[in-house]
């Protein structure tokens, strides 16, 4: 039984909504059909608040908060789609496209890519920033999967699903800043790593960075929504 | 009863015992990773894969996490250092007083980029993020020894001495 | 150990010192040490032996005006000698009891006259490796007073009353922070001292840790009592080996004297401190990154809330203050919160240590009451810009700060005034620039710093600083267009507002402040392909043709 | 009302955008009521005309020649449209950027050559070190991403441009479409 304190009422984009105490702004927004763009967030994994696409404005504060982490409070007024937020979202997406070599036309995830879809949703028609053109490797040593670092956006979903769900923690991030890279084990080839070959990382990867060798081109949709069910089943056990 | 045992020392090199000592002192806790890597680096001069693997297994830290830590912190080096190391301080005060020109001159004289070691393994050229001797800028560390108000000529002279050794 | 015993130790030191007829304090801090302070000390010892005079020759921490080093302080008359070398030893010893050596005396009355020493009160007077020296100057009195006469809430109240604000940069009220941790529930709490002084151009914390380590330990122990923590960590940069060794010695001595450990001074309060080494990551100065680093992980920040005061180290309530903040605690306890609050300006109380460097005559460490005019620091304490050059700007706050131009030198140095000027107080670096510095190039320097120090977790900081660096490089080599400038300004806004932690949120400050005050320099580079200070070579890289 | 002068240009691209343009089929005739194609790989004009109303540019800027062309086109066009991903992002031609032009030339003309391996240097223009989208050289008025943009996209976009009506490009197409 919940007492009165456990239910909060708040306003998201002029819509009055109610929420349970401890819920994030993102959860409440999605329950009410309000779309907030996300990239690093994935239901079923811990939230890191790294991509900054889900930043929202809270009335009375100049600070922008990540909706995936910030929890609701009574009478808060949230704006999720202001001109200020749209400007930052476009710039963030541009930063991602310019950071590595995302050539959509020749990507296995063309048409099923979260980054590509977000770019379209946010009205991006070109990248104003200079492309950085880094020279990055493609590791196809694994018998089933490939990692193409050119398309990695460092959302760390693979790292989290491997550590938190599969419990293997084969993936992590090496280096820092602009030189960060996801790695398996001691920066060894994926194929000879301690990978359990479960393939969860491939399913949760939002872009074409991790893909299944057996699939080509447009036949490569991913199904990251298995996670909430998996967690539910595990809890039930 | 715990079935987990520590991996064997990578070799009979006595320095591994020092490394093991740091881990034992910390009860083989995962949070001792950085402390232990410091010990490895001060004992061996750098961190190689064997060392990281040994430390990671001993502390039961995932390999990728240990590698992530070792490459996150710039104080750790994954390559053996040269016989001598010249470190140019690249803090703000040194920069204002021409540290960038010192770095360029050293790179030209040694034929390497900052962060690299000459092919004969004689000299490593490093830069530091402020050693805290700003009042003596620009500052140079020759094998750890601080020299202030360094001129290009003085630095080259020191490099010459090392390269003809 | 109780107050009486503490007094006995102090008396012992006084008696021991009374055996000597003269005292010579030799500064052994980095700047003086790099100019032969060690040899000088040996020569003084030999000269003293040869003369038969009873001279106490003491190694001390930084005395302040490093550009005049090696420095020594002679006798009870408090005479400071500058530019001393081993060759002077004999004449110095001979002069003891007589007239000072004229050629070594320095005229720094104005330099010292405008300073007030609270944090640096012992600097240059004690041997940092001797706990007795510290005790003889009222050391650990505050801790004992707190443990025997005050409640934890009383301690928090006194700190609140002093209006001390965090000296690490952001200026969060220290009393409020302590109160929050004290109220947080949990059987285990931690006190962390942030000694990861990463700002290039700042060395205040190094000097305090090296020159007066017990002051930090005492402050932390008092904090532990006030918030209910039993365990403390000092996180020190690995680049500061001397600080690490001095702190290690100090911790050992404090434990030996029962000032750390179980049941301190016979009270039920137990507290101990461990040292943790940083490993070359500026971002670890950020609270949540520092916590990750102590936990042995990559130093990547986490979104706040939850704040460390509620959920910090190993998810326990954690108090994090910087070295200088802790160094202020003992004097506040001894002299009262009101005494401290009487110093400084309206909303910035007490004193602040600054590392004054760059194009200025008297470089070194200074401590001034907050609210002091910037002009006084530059022109009087610093002695102005040397070599016939003209002052252009002073950079405060390191990579998170900004450049303050000549026309704003009459602002008072306070958290709010510096913020209003587009900079921040920061940890205390003050780098003076003259007409030989190109402000675009300086901005590029800081952005390069932030780019390499970005942890890489959030996109605005990771990729944004890299893009800003590219655009600034274009401006510096004369290949930029006015569109690039617009892009740069747009990026500044996103990196500032959308980054996860303080590093990213403040990274654009050096660009924004130079754009605000020195926009003409940017325009000169872009439109006329000319660097007014003559720093940027304007050589178009051989890029276009293969 | 006089017809608008339309030019289409082919820089470093695969000509797929031009093919897609032609895929407008019978709608091209409809379009011809409003525009004259004054310059194009599809017509026989040799010199870029002095005054063009709308220039559709396919392809990235990859050589010194491309750079010269795009500057000239900009100078003589009222409206410049970046047509397709190569013009908008650099796309496939820019995939050589991480390794530079020498490695590519070596691979194509030396390593894989079966007879007379040599890098062509006469007549062919020099390659730029980095292939860039056209907006990094000149101001672009309209960006039409897609690889290639579909005939529908062309039709909707051109109709709007010719009539001066509203145009929401992101609703029509995207990178890699």
pLDDT tens profile C358-391 = 999 999 999 999 999 999 999 999 999 999 999 9
Query: A184 and B64: CB-CB below 8 Å?
Result: yes
| Residue A78 exposure: Cα atoms within 13 Å on the Cβ side | 29
Domain-terminating residue out of C341, C361, C393: C341
Residues of A in contact with D143 (CB under 8 A): 125-126
Q: What size, in residues, is chain C?
A: 546
CB–CB contacts below 8 A, A to D: 76
**What subunits make at least 3 CB pairs under 8 angstroms with A?**
B, C, D
* Residue D129 neighbours by CB under 8 Å, 6+ apart: C543, C544, C545, C546, D100, D101
Question: Residue with structure tokens 């008297």?
Answer: C362
Tens digits of residue pLDDT in A133-157: 999 999 999 999 999 999 999 999 9
CB-nearest to C296 from B32, B91, B129 is: B32
Write out the residue limits of the CATH 3.10.20.740 domain(s) in chain A. Answer: 4-81
The whole-model pTM stands at 0.94
**What part of D 50-69 touches C (C-beta under 8 Å)?**
64, 67
**What part of C 288-307 touches A (C-beta under 8 Å)?**
298, 302-303
pLDDT at C538: 82
pLDDT band at D1 (very low <50, low <70, confident <90, very high): low
Tens digits of residue pLDDT in C392-406: 999 999 999 999 999
pLDDT band at C537 (very low <50, low <70, confident <90, very high): confident
**What part of D 45-74 touches A (C-beta under 8 Å)?**
none
The domain locations on chain D are: 4-95+129-172
Task: Tell me: pLDDT of B129 over 90.
Answer: no
Structure tokens at C181: 């941790």
- Which of D127, D129, D139 to mutate: most C Cβ within 10 Å? D129
Q: How far apart are CA C341 and CA C321, in angstroms?
A: 19
Minimal Cα distance from B72: which residue of A? A175
What CATH code is assigned to A86-236?
A: 3.30.70.20
Chain A: residues touching B (Cβ < 8 Å) = 163, 169-176, 183-187, 194
* Per-residue b or e along C243-275, where b marks 16 or more CB atoms closer than 10 Å to that residue's CB: bbebbebbbebbeebebbeeebbeeebebbbeb
The candidate with the shortest Cα–Cα distance to C158, out of C322, C368, C331, C343, is C331
Higher pLDDT, A7 or B130: A7
The domain locations on chain B are: 15-72, 84-163
Tens digits of residue pLDDT in D60-109: 999 999 999 999 999 999 999 999 999 999 999 999 999 999 999 999 99
Tens digits of residue pLDDT in B61-107: 999 999 999 999 999 999 999 999 999 998 888 988 899 999 999 99
User: Is the Cβ–Cβ distance between C456 and A159 less than 8 Å?
Assistant: no
Cis preceding linkage at C305, omega within 30 = yes
Q: What CATH class has D4-95+129-172?
A: alpha beta
Write out the residue limits of the CATH 3.30.70.20 domain(s) in chain A. Answer: 86-236
Question: Residue with structure tokens 């760059």?
Answer: C358
Residues C170 and C74 both lie in one domain? no
C92 touches chain A (CB under 8 A): no
| Residue C419 exposure: Cα atoms within 13 Å on the Cβ side | 8
Residues of C in contact with B134 (CB under 8 A): 201-203, 355, 357, 363, 429, 431
- Listed as ranges, residues in chain A with pLDDT below 70 are 1-4, 216-220, 237
pLDDT at B96: 87
Task: Tell me: pLDDT of C328 over 80.
Answer: yes
Minimal Cα distance from A154: which residue of C? C457
Query: A174 and B63: CB-CB below 8 Å?
Result: no
How many domains, chain C?
4
Query: C456 and A55: CB-CB below 8 Å?
Result: no
Query: A176 and B72: CB-CB below 8 Å?
Result: yes
Structure tokens at C27: 């500064």
**What subunits make at least 3 CB pairs under 8 angstroms with B?**
A, C
Per-residue pLDDT, averaged over D141-169, amounts to 95
| B64, containing H or E segment | helix B63-72
Q: How far apart are CA C274 and CA C244, in angstroms?
A: 11
CB-nearest to A96 from C452, C463, C498 is: C463
Q: Is residue C533 part of a domain?
A: no
pLDDT band at C2 (very low <50, low <70, confident <90, very high): confident
Residues C168 and C301 both lie in one domain? yes
Q: What does the mean pLDDT of chain D come to?
A: 95
C454 touches chain A (CB under 8 A): yes
Helix (H/G/I), strand (E/B), else coil: D164: coil
Which CATH code, of 3.30.160.60, 3.40.50.2000, 3.40.50.150, 3.10.20.740, is assigned to A4-81?
3.10.20.740
Domain of C419, in residue numbers: 351-434
pLDDT at D27: 96
pLDDT at B3: 44
E strand intervals along B6-93: 84-89
pLDDT band at C540 (very low <50, low <70, confident <90, very high): low
Q: What does the mean pLDDT of chain C come to?
A: 94
Q: How far apart are CA A24 and CA C379, in angstroms?
A: 53
* Residue C440 neighbours by CB under 8 Å, 6+ apart: C472, C475, C476, C514, C518, C521, C522, C525, C531, C536
pLDDT band at C200 (very low <50, low <70, confident <90, very high): confident
Query: A126 and D98: CB-CB below 8 Å?
Result: no
Per-residue pLDDT, averaged over C415-439, amounts to 93
Chain B: residues touching C (Cβ < 8 Å) = 29-35, 37-38, 61, 65, 68-69, 72-76, 90-97, 128-137, 139, 145-148
Structure tokens at A210: 């991790």
Residues C336 and C359 both lie in one domain? no
Q: What does the mean pLDDT of chain B come to?
A: 91
pLDDT at A217: 60
| C182, containing H or E segment | helix C174-183
Q: How far apart are CA A139 and CA A154, in angstroms?
A: 16
CB–CB contacts below 8 A, C to D: 17
From the CA atom positions of chain B, what is the Rg in Å? Answer: 19
Q: How far apart are CA C95 and CA C116, in angstroms?
A: 30
Domain-terminating residue out of C391, C419, C434: C434
| Residue C5 exposure: Cα atoms within 13 Å on the Cβ side | 9
pLDDT band at C543 (very low <50, low <70, confident <90, very high): very low
Chain A: residues touching D (Cβ < 8 Å) = 97, 101-107, 110-111, 116-117, 119-128, 130-131, 133-136
Task: Tell me: pLDDT of C349 over 90.
Answer: yes
Residues of D in contact with C543 (CB under 8 A): 129-130
Q: DSSP for C62-122? A: --S-GGG-S-EEETTTTEEE-S--GGGHHHHHHHTTS---GGGB---HHHHHT---STTTT
DSSP D92: G
ipTM: 0.94
**Closest Cα in chain B, distance from residue A42 (Å):** 21
* Per-residue b or e along C292-326, where b marks 16 or more CB atoms closer than 10 Å to that residue's CB: bbbbbbbbbbbbbeebbbbbbbeebbbbbbbbbbb
Q: What CATH class has B84-163?
A: alpha beta
| B100, containing H or E segment | helix B99-110
Q: How far is CA C448 from CA C399, C465, C511, D143, in A?
A: 10, 8, 11, 32
**What part of C 17-36 touches B (C-beta under 8 Å)?**
30-31, 33-35
Query: B37 and C279: CB-CB below 8 Å?
Result: yes
Query: D126 and C546: CB-CB below 8 Å?
Result: yes
Task: Tell me: pLDDT of C544 over 50.
Answer: no
B50 touches chain A (CB under 8 A): no
Tens digits of residue pLDDT in C42-85: 999 999 999 999 999 999 999 999 999 899 998 766 789 999 99
Chain A: residues touching C (Cβ < 8 Å) = 48-52, 55, 64, 66, 69-70, 84, 87-88, 91-92, 95-96, 98-99, 128-130, 132, 153-154, 173, 175-180
Domain-terminating residue out of C95, C113, C131: C113
CB-nearest to A105 from D144, D168, D176 is: D176
Helix (H/G/I), strand (E/B), else coil: B124: strand
Task: Tell me: pLDDT of D134 over 80.
Answer: yes
């Amino acid at each position: 039984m919940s007492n009165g304190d456990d239910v909060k009422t708040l306003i998201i984009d002029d819509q009055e909504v109610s929420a349970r105490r401890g819920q994030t702004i993102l959860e409440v927004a999605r329950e009410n059909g309000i779309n907030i763009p996300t990239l690093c967030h994935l239901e079923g994994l811990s939230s890191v608040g790294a991509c900054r696409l889900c930043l929202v404005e809270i009335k009375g504060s100049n600070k922008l908060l990540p909706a995936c982490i910030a929890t609701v409070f009574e009478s808060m007024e949230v704006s999720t789609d202001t001109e200020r937020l749209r400007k930052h979202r476009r710039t963030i997406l541009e930063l991602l496209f310019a950071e590595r070599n995302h050539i959509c036309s020749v990507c296995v995830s063309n048409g099923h890519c979260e980054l590509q879809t977000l770019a379209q949703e946010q009205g991006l028609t070109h990248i104003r920033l200079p492309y950085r053109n880094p020279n990055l490797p493609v590791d196809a040593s694994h018998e089933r999967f490939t990692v193409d670092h050119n398309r990695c956006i460092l959302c760390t979903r693979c790292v989290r699903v491997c550590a938190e769900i599969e419990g293997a923690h084969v993936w992590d991030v090496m280096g820092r800043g602009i030189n960060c890279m996801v790695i398996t084990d001691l920066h060894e080839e994926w194929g000879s790593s301690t990978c359990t070959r479960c393939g969860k990382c491939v399913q949760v990867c939002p872009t074409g960075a991790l893909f299944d060798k057996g699939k080509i081109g447009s036949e490569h949709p991913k199904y990251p929504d298995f996670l909430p069910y998996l967690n539910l089943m595990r809890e039930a056990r | 009863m715990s079935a987990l045992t520590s991996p064997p020392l990578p070799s009979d090199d006595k320095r591994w015992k020092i490394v093991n000592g740091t881990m034992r002192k910390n009860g083989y806790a995962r949070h001792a990773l950085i402390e232990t890597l410091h010990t490895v680096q001060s004992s061996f001069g750098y961190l190689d894969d064997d060392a990281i693997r040994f430390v990671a297994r001993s502390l039961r830290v995932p390999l990728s996490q240990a590698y992530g830590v070792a490459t996150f912190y710039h104080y750790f080096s994954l390559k053996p250092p040269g016989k001598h190391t010249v470190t140019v301080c690249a803090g703000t005060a040194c920069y204002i007083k021409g540290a960038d020109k010192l770095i360029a001159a050293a790179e030209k004289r040694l034929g390497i980029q900052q962060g690299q070691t000459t092919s004969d393994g004689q000299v490593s050229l490093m830069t530091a993020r402020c050693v805290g001797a700003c009042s003596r800028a620009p500052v140079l560390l020759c094998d750890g020894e601080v020299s202030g108000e360094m001129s290009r000529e003085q630095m080259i002279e020191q490099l010459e001495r090392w390269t003809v050794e | 150990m109780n107050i009486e015993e503490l007094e006995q130790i102090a008396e012992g030191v006084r008696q021991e010192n009374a055996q000597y007829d003269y005292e010579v304090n030799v500064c052994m801090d980095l700047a003086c040490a790099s100019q032969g302070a060690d040899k000088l000390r040996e020569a003084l010892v030999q000269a003293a032996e040869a003369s038969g005079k009873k001279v106490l020759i003491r190694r001390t921490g930084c005395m302040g005006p490093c550009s005049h080093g090696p420095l020594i302080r002679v006798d009870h008359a408090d005479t400071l000698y500058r530019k001393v070398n081993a060759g002077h030893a004999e004449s110095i010893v001979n002069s003891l009891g007589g007239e000072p050596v004229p050629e070594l005396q320095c005229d720094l009355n104005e330099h010292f006259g405008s300073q007030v020493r609270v944090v640096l009160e012992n600097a240059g007077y004690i041997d940092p490796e001797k706990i007795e020296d510290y005790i003889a100057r009222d050391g650990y009195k505050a801790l004992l007073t707190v443990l025997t006469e005050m409640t934890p809430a009383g301690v928090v109240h006194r700190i609140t009353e002093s209006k001390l604000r965090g000296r690490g940069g952001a200026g969060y009220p220290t009393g409020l922070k302590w109160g929050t941790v004290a109220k947080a529930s949990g059987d285990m709490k931690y006190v962390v001292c942030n000694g990861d002084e990463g700002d290039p151009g700042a060395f205040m914390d190094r000097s305090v840790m090296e020159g007066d380590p017990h002051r930090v330990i005492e402050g932390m122990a008092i904090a532990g009592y006030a918030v209910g923590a039993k365990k403390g960590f000092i996180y020190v940069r690995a680049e500061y080996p001397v600080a690490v060794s001095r702190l290690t010695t100090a911790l050992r001595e404090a434990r030996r004297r029962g000032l750390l450990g179980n049941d301190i001074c016979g009270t039920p309060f137990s507290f101990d401190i461990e040292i943790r080494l940083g490993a070359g990551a500026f971002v670890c100065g950020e609270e949540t990154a520092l916590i990750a680093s102590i936990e042995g992980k990559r130093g990547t920040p986490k979104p706040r809330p939850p704040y460390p005061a509620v959920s910090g180290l190993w998810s326990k309530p954690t108090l994090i203050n910087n070295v200088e903040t802790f160094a202020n605690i003992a004097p506040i306890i001894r002299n009262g919160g009101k005494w401290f609050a009487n110093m400084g300006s309206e909303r910035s109380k007490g004193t602040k240590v600054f590392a004054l460097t760059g194009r200025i005559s008297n470089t070194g460490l200074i401590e001034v009451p907050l609210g002091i005019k910037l002009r006084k620091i530059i022109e009087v304490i610093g002695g102005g810009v040397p070599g016939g050059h003209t002052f252009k700007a002073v950079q405060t706050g390191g990579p998170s700060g900004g450049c303050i131009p000549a026309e704003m030198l009459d602002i008072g140095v306070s958290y709010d005034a510096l913020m209003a000027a587009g900079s921040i107080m920061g940890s205390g670096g003050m780098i003076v620039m003259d007409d030989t510095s190109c402000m675009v190039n300086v901005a590029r320097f800081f952005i390069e710093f932030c780019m390499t120090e970005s942890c890489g977790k959030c996109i605005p900081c990771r990729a944004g600083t890299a893009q800003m660096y590219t655009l600034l490089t274009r401006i510096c080599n004369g290949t930029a267009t006015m569109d690039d400038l617009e892009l740069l300004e747009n990026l500044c806004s996103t990196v500032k507002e959308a980054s996860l932690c303080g590093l990213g949120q403040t990274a654009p400050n050096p660009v924004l402040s130079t754009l605000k005050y020195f926009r003409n320099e940017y325009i000169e580079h872009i439109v006329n392909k000319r660097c007014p200070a003559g720093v940027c070579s304007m050589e178009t890289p051989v890029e276009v043709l293969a | 009302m006089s017809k608008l002068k339309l030019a289409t240009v082919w820089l470093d691209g695969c000509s797929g955008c031009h093919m897609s343009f032609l895929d407008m089929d019978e709608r091209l005739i409809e379009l011809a009521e409003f525009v004259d194609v004054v310059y194009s790989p599809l017509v026989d004009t040799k010199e870029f005309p002095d005054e063009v109303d709308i220039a559709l540019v396919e392809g990235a800027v990859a050589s010194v020649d491309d750079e010269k062309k795009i500057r000239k086109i900009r100078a003589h066009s009222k409206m410049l449209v970046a047509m397709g991903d190569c013009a908008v992002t650099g796309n496939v031609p820019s995939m050589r950027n991480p390794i530079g032009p020498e490695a590519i030339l070596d691979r194509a003309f030396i390593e894989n050559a079966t007879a007379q391996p040599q890098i062509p240097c006469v007549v062919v223009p020099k390659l730029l070190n980095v292939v860039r989208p056209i907006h990094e050289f000149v101001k672009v008025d309209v960006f039409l991403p897609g690889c290639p943009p579909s005939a529908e996209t062309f039709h909707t976009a051109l109709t709007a441009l010719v009539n001066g009506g509203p145009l929401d490009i992101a609703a029509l197409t995207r990178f890699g479409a």
